[in-house]
């Protein structure tokens, strides 16, 4: 049913300003996934971002998932 402004009540969400609610859930999920797979989260994120910046091909994105991560030995 349209409101006084002519918008459906169920569509009011698209006029609300963005909030910061829920922004930490993605990083918490990533950290949890790393820990479940025995991967140090900081090393994983650092190596993954470096690989993407170096041009890692999208066709091989599965190699960058936490359960496929192999840490490099420091030289």
pLDDT of residue 12: 54
pTM exceeds 0.85 for this model: no
User: Over the stretch 5-53, which tens digit does the pLDDT of each residue have?
Assistant: 555 555 555 565 555 566 677 788 889 999 999 999 999 999 999 999 9
Q: Is residue 51 part of a domain?
A: yes
Per the structure, the count of domains in the chain is: 1
Q: Residue 74 domain-assigned?
A: yes
Q: pLDDT of 45-74, one tens digit each?
A: 999 999 999 999 999 999 999 999 988 876
Q: How far is CA 31 from CA 51, 63, 66, in A?
A: 18, 17, 9
Judge whether 30 lies within some domain. no
Predicted pLDDT at 72: 80
State the residue range of the domain holding 68. Answer: 42-75
Residue 36 lies in a domain: no
> What are the φ/ψ torsions at residue 21 (nearest 5 degrees)?
-65, 130
């Amino acid at each position: 049913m349209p409101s006084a402004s002519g918008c459906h009540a169920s569509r009011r969400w698209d006029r609300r300003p963005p909030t910061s609610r829920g922004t930490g859930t993605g990083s918490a999920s990533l950290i949890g996934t790393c820990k479940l797979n025995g991967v140090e989260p900081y090393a994983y994120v650092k190596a993954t971002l470096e690989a993407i910046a170096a041009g890692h091909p999208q066709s091989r994105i599965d190699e960058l998932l936490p359960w496929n991560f192999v840490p490099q030995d420091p030289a």
